[in-house]
Amino acid sequence: MAFEPPRRLVRALGETAPDGDDWLAKLPETVERAVAVRGLTVERVQVPGGRSSLVVLVRTAGGSPAVLKLAPGRARPESERAALVHWGGLGAVQVREDGAGAADAAGAAGDAEAGVLLLERLHPDVSVRSLPEAKALLEAAGTLRRLWVEPPASHVFETVAERTGRQAEAMRAGAAADGQVAPLVDAALAVRAELLAEPPERRLLHGTFRQSKVLAGDRMPWLAVGPDPVVGESAFDLARLVRDRVEDLIAQPSGASTTRRRIKRLAESLEVDQERLRGWTLFRAVESGVRARRVGREQDAELLLEFAGWL
């Protein structure tokens, strides 16, 4: 299969790839092998696609539509598989390959198969983000609620404390290198410490939930895709949704008050503590802003850090 990976994927992975990483270079070979092992027919590569994985629209040997997703190990694809299997299609896309099928494919294709998922086909060009803002938030929040379940007893998922601990170290380094962001970083780290002192619950969370991660389906109207699962409190998951369409919020003269109303509305509708939601929204916005600045996405950084300043 001859193809060029989408530019969006190449650019995003180029920001995070460690030295010597050759995942992108080997991607055409990996796709060809994964398709052959499963007897799939390729329709097209989804463009622009995601920032951490390649999505290929395929048909199975029986002719049914499916999606082949390939991601590097640093995107934690096996954690994604485990979460999707645990959700069992309730609120999220279904895995089309059970554990045995995935193991057989991996055995046939070697280590490259570790990052390959065969998934239910949704409507990749129709996301909740295409709806008017109020309706989009409502549908996205309803989808997210279905995902907040008890994690498996012996789960392998990262915890919110672990993930944000890694992020906090990078934020401190960013603040040391850029004094302008230091006050926001200090505030974000302080609120993280408070929030982790008494977490109210432990739920399996999507981890990177936003409107564009909710696609139209046939089995259910809307289903979540692309989790980076983590175990912790619901407010952490909801916090990323608060800043959806941040560029529109920043452009509004009433952006700050609109954000506060959004926090209140989402907290009340999903029965999440409003102050905890505000706190995690602050932490996640500052973390994303500092990370964007670190990799040279200055426009994104400015938007996110201005948004964080409202909180």
Alpha-carbon gap, residue 93 to 225, rounded angstroms: 6
Q: Is the CATH number 1.20.1250.20 carried by domain 7-121?
A: no
Alpha-carbon gap, residue 27 to 32, rounded angstroms: 9
Sorted by where each begins, the domain ranges of the chain are: 7-121, 128-309
The β-bridge partners of 65 are 59
pLDDT of residue 257: 95
Cβ-defined contacts of 171-176 (< 8 Å, 24+): 171/286, 171/287, 171/290, 174/290, 174/291, 174/293, 174/294, 175/290
pLDDT of residue 1: 60
pLDDT of residue 99: 47
CATH code at 128-309: 3.90.1200.10
pLDDT of residue 108: 47
pLDDT of residue 107: 46
pLDDT of residue 55: 94
Q: Which two tokens stand for residue 204?
A: 């399996």
Provide the strand spans (E) within the chain. 41-45, 54-59, 65-70, 116-120, 123-127, 158-159, 203-205, 214-216, 222-224, 230-232
pLDDT of residue 14: 77
Does 7-121 match 128-309 in CATH topology? no
The β-bridge partners of 159 are 231
Chunked into runs of 10 residues, the chain (311 residues) has average pLDDT values of 80 76 89 95 90 93 96 91 96 81 49 82 94 93 97 92 96 89 96 96 96 96 97 97 94 94 96 98 97 92 96 94
pLDDT of residue 50: 80
